[in-house]
Amino acid sequence: MKEVEENNQDLFDSILIDIDQYNNENKVLYPYDIKEKLLELKEMDEDKFHIILKKLPNELLAEVISEMPAHIQEDAAEYLGSFKLAKVASEMDTDDAADFIQNISENHETIAESILANINKEDRDLIESLISYDEDAAGSYMQTEVFDAKLNDTIGASIEKLAKLKSEREIDNIYHVFIVDRNQKFICSIGLEEVIIMDFKKTFKDIVEDKEKEYTQINCNHLEDISDVVEKVSKYNLSVIPVLNEDGILIGRITSDDIYDIIEEQATEQIYGLAGVNDEAEQDSNLFNVIKTRAVWLGINLLTAIAASIVISFFDSTIQSLVSLAILMPIVASMGGNAGTQSLTVTVRQLAIGDISEEDAKETIIKEVILSLANGFMFAIIVGLLSYVWFKMPLLGVVIGLSTIINLLFAGFFGAIIPLICEKLDIDPAVASTVLLTTITDIVGFFSFLGLAKLIML
């Protein structure tokens, strides 16, 4: 116990030293490192965690809180006053500030409203406009801080403007300048590496008209689905993408760090979904809520298991006549389940990254069926010979071999087609597919194995 307290105190003192050096401008701190230390401290001692939160300078606290999970942000909001939180939110990029306030409003709407009330009107209007977007809209992920220039602006003047914005900490992560017309309509993006090697007396019009210079016109609409935006960024290897409204006016940008976060969220959601687990619920500190969400899917799984058991009950006399069938039944079901999961996982992932369109659906199904069928024949020979050697019954080897082929054929077909149908019906394939597939492979496996045994052996 004493050793734990000492470690606790050492970590606490270490963070205090970091803060002191940061205040004296003697040390560059990375928000991620501070966040990791704070989360570790929170596990050890909640009180010391809250003390550190209050001691962090607003500028650093803004970056640290932006890195924290949503439920930790909510917890922090309970111990920091609305005025302090408003100052912290004002130090954040607009997209991070919107996320922060939205996370707090989930369970502490009064605190969120109080924070907004203490933010200056201009920032408040921007944050409220971002919060108003649908969760999956590009606008909800954008930040409104942009570095833009008019066609007739000189490069030198724009570089000076950028230097001023940077010194005033108004903007960061700048790799492109967005060229707009006098009405703020987007024209193109030009990388800073192109800009800094140009004659500073020239205008951006000179770059745009020079065919040897590189620039891009790739952009996204503020109402566009964020999955489509991620796909666009990946296809064109963009580090930032400008966001336009319906009139083509530049209103913000989505940076690569947000894109990485979205990709990670989508991957996590798919992995959890395939296991019937809700990714948001898993972050809930209330264990009862986590138990409840998991129980729903376990309950559905119980119903499907009962369905498979009913199929088995149709052949109870067959099993009583040949006890070896009961021993071998799990092999057929397991082979079908695993083969189906392979097809399912590949199809769901390809749907997620946009590798499958409606035109590719037929080709995908045929491919998965051929793969499963090929494996079916190979493992049918192996399991058939194994059964023959084990029970000295040639017909039993034939039965389980044929059943393996049938079940793997169905597994490949349904493993591919279920996600495609779910996608067509606008149902998340990752969540709905696994339970359906398991039910099908179990029922087909048991029915084909026991049915063939009854026909061939009895």
Same domain, 307 and 423: yes
Q: How confident is the model at residue 282 (pLDDT cuts 50, 70, 90)?
A: low
Task: Indicate whether 259 belongs to any domain.
Answer: no
Task: Indicate whether 140 belongs to any domain.
Answer: no
| Domain CATH number, residue 441 | 1.10.357.20
Same domain, 307 and 447: yes
DSSP state, 172? -
Q: How confident is the model at residue 275 (pLDDT cuts 50, 70, 90)?
A: low
Find the helix or strand (DSSP H, E) in which 242 lies: strand 240-244
Task: Indicate whether 262 belongs to any domain.
Answer: no
pLDDT one-digit tens code per residue, 312-346? 888 888 888 788 898 888 898 889 888 888 888 88
Beta-bridge partners for 179: 149, 188
pLDDT surpasses 60 at 171:
yes
Position with higher pLDDT, 231 vs 355: 231
| Domain CATH number, residue 60 | 1.25.60.10
pLDDT surpasses 60 at 116:
yes
| Helices and strands in the chain: count of H runs, count of E runs | 21, 6
Using a 10 angstrom Cβ sphere, with 0-12 exposed, 13-18 middle and 19 or more buried, the burial of residue 285 is exposed
Task: Indicate whether 137 belongs to any domain.
Answer: no
Same domain, 319 and 443: yes
Same domain, 99 and 219: no
pLDDT for position 77: 79
Using the 3D structure, point to which of 71, 97, 132 is the last residue of a domain: 132
Rounded to two decimals, what is the model's pTM? 0.67
Task: Indicate whether 143 belongs to any domain.
Answer: no
Task: Indicate whether 139 belongs to any domain.
Answer: no
- The answer for residues whose C-beta is within 8 angstroms of residue 84's C-beta and 6 or more apart is 54, 58
Q: Count structural domains, the chain.
A: 3
pLDDT surpasses 60 at 439:
yes
* CA-based radius of gyration for the chain: 30
Q: How confident is the model at residue 43 (pLDDT cuts 50, 70, 90)?
A: confident
Same domain, 449 and 328: yes
Same domain, 286 and 377: yes
The C-alpha angle with vertex 198 and arms to 194 and 203, in degrees rounded to 5, equals: 100
Q: Which residue has the tokens 């800073």?
A: 192
Task: Indicate whether 138 belongs to any domain.
Answer: no
Task: Indicate whether 224 belongs to any domain.
Answer: yes
Q: What is the mean pLDDT of residues 222-249?
A: 91
Q: Where are the alpha helices (DSSP H) in 24-93?
A: 31-44, 46-55, 58-67, 70-77, 82-91
Same domain, 351 and 425: yes
Same domain, 248 and 106: no
| Domain CATH number, residue 197 | 3.10.580.10
| 96's tokens | 């991070």
Whether the CB-CB separation of 446 and 399 falls below 8 Å is answered with: no
User: Which phi and psi (to 5°) does residue 225 adopt?
Assistant: -65, 135
Same domain, 69 and 180: no
pLDDT surpasses 80 at 378:
yes
Please tell me the distance from the alpha carbon of residue 3 to that of residue 11, in angstroms, as a whole number. Answer: 12
Q: How confident is the model at residue 274 (pLDDT cuts 50, 70, 90)?
A: low
Position with higher pLDDT, 285 vs 113: 113
Same domain, 419 and 287: yes
pLDDT one-digit tens code per residue, 387-411? 999 988 999 999 999 999 999 999 9
Same domain, 313 and 407: yes
Q: What is the mean pLDDT of residues 152-156?
A: 91
Domain that holds residue 351: 279-456
The long-range contacts involving 186-193, CB below 8 angstroms and separated by at least 24 positions, are 186/217, 186/219, 186/242, 186/244, 186/248, 186/249, 186/250, 187/151, 187/217, 188/215, 188/216, 188/217, 189/215, 189/216, 189/217, 189/218, 189/219, 189/240, 189/242, 190/214, 190/215, 191/215
Same domain, 209 and 324: no
